[in-house]
Every structure is written in C-alpha cells, then in structure tokens.
Amino acid sequence: MVNIAVVGSVNMDIIITLERLPTAGETLLGSRTAYAQGGKGANQAVAVARLGASSILVGRVGSDAFGAQIRRGLAMEGIDLTYLGEATDVATGVAVIMLVRGENTIVVARGANDEVTSEDVQRAQSAIARSNALLCQLEVPLTAVEAALAAGRKAGVITVLDPAPAQRCPETILALADYITPNRYEASTLTGITVQDWDDARRAAQQLLRYVRKGVIVKLGDAGALAMDAASEHRIEGVAVEVVDTTAAGDAFCAALGVALAHGMGLAEAARFANVVGALTVTRLGAQPSLPKLEEVRDFVMARGLAVTLPGG
C-alpha cells in the first residue's frame, strides 16, 4: 500500500442550495441545507483513503463541537490523525457553500487553519519522509505550505501542489512542487493569462513549467484537463456526467493524481485517472460524502467503457 501525506485545511461545510445567488442587501430562502465535513486538506486525505492508499493528515481543528465531529469522521475513514492538532482559542474552520444548479460559490472562515505552522510540519517530518507522495493546498498559511514542500523535497517524496484557493504564490513555493494542479481561475491568477480554452491552458502550463520540477495539469472543468511536462502534452477530455455539486471535484482530482503517481503511473495515465475520479465526485452532494471509493471508480470506468488505468492494477 502506498502512503500519502496531506498538509492542509480542515473545515465544517454548511451547504445551501439556491435558485440564484443573492444581491447586496438581499435575503433569499434556500431550498436545502446540509452539513458536511470538508476543507481541502481533509477532503484530499479522505479521497486518498477511499482510493486505497494509507493517508496521514497534518492540520488543525478547534476545541469545539465541529472539531470533535470532524475528528470522529476522519478516524472512521482510517486516516492517521497523529498530527491533527487542536487550537484552543480559535474555532474550527467553516465554509459556507452556496449551490446554484450544481455550481458552487464558497466563503471560508479559516479559523484554526490559520494556526497551522511550520513547527507543525516539522513535528510530522518523519511521517512525511515515509510517504510516497505529499499533497498541499493554499488554505493554510504559506509558511506551512513551504515547510511541507521543502520537507517532501528533502526526503525525495513526490510533491503535488493544488494552488487553491486562487492566490498569488511565491516562486520559491512553486519551485518546491513536482506537480501543480490549478483550475482555470487559479492558473489565471498564477500566470496573468486569462485561461478560457485549451490554447490558453497550454500557454499557462508552459509558463508554470518554468518553476515546477516535473509537470502541470490545468483543470478545465467539464471540458477535461491539459497535462504537460517538458517532453509531452496530453489533452484529457472531460467525462459527461450529471452535475450535482462541484465542491470537492478539485480535491478528488488532486488526491487521485497523487495516488496514481505514487503507484508509479506516468503523467498522462495519472491525469486520466484523476479526471474520472473528479467527474464521478460531482454527481453527489457534499464534499467528503461525494468522494468515491476505488471500487466505485472501477465500476464507473467499466460501465462507461473508458480507457483508463487504475492504480495498483
């Protein structure tokens, strides 16, 4: 079994389904409300575990009811929580997710996620070094992200950076990543190139390849993804599905990519697998509730007749 370390955020998601988004000063009634465990770090750790890999999570929750509930849920997934710390004076992170016809608008109060430090990463350094791959995102302080990627680099671990939420990222951090997985908005923010189509994605990927060590995957939503390294370029076509909730699609993609790369799959194979996992994820409501198990991915691939290799055979 491959081992994946995840350094990142842990949230409780409050999901509200609406016909449209409110304007300034307006109050709207939602048609449905749900609570689900989320946060990019926790989502990716859960996705990793459900895809058959060993998963360890480095992060923080608050000493509150949400934090306790999240711990129980993550433990039930079999995730190693040795390095999931507790902030005593800050609440667990919360995300308010507004869904309109399956597309999400998200507001995050980072809470305890802001308390994740480079010292937290240092305490987990031995666990990171034992891993086959390390996944990071940008919902915790950049100092912690940089420390994690540096620890992974030092140990010779595959490092994958999901540059979400969209923000400018120092070149020193980009240079520590083997692979980076921006969506079109994140790629636009990182490069200054407005990414709307495949040609734009290609130009953005070429620019990002100046910094990252091995490869860039630009996610284009239902259109698919563009995977590029120094020697090749692969257009991964989207998989047609009925979209219910896109909240965890990017997290599922990144986790699946990390698992596939840890199994020794090449960039194109890994990106195709990640693309299918992301597509299956959007067919369900909620972040972690939507993340598929490897058996479900296998069944989906077989039912659709997709030419996709699954990690581990």
Q: State pTM to two decimals.
A: 0.94
Identify the pLDDT of residue 103: 83
pLDDT at 117 over 80: yes
Mean pLDDT of 149-163: 98
Interatomic CA distance for residues 211 and 184, integer angstroms: 18
250 — pLDDT class (breaks 50, 70, 90):
very high
> Which tops the pLDDT comparison, 161 or 102?
161
108 — pLDDT class (breaks 50, 70, 90):
confident
Known active-site residue 114 = no
Identify the pLDDT of residue 241: 97
3-state secondary structure of 236: strand
Interatomic CA distance for residues 266 and 126, integer angstroms: 27
pLDDT tens-place string over residues 283-302:
998 889 999 999 999 999 99
pLDDT tens-place string over residues 5-46:
999 999 999 999 999 999 999 999 988 898 989 999 999 999
Q: CA 125 → CA 9, 31, 76, 254, distances in Å?
A: 18, 45, 24, 21
Catalytic residue among 80, 245, 251, 299: 251
> Which tops the pLDDT comparison, 138 or 88?
138
DSSP letter at 306? -
CA angle 93, 166, 141 (to 5 degrees): 50
pLDDT at 313 over 80: no
Domains (range + CATH), the chain: 3-20+33-304 (3.40.1190.20)
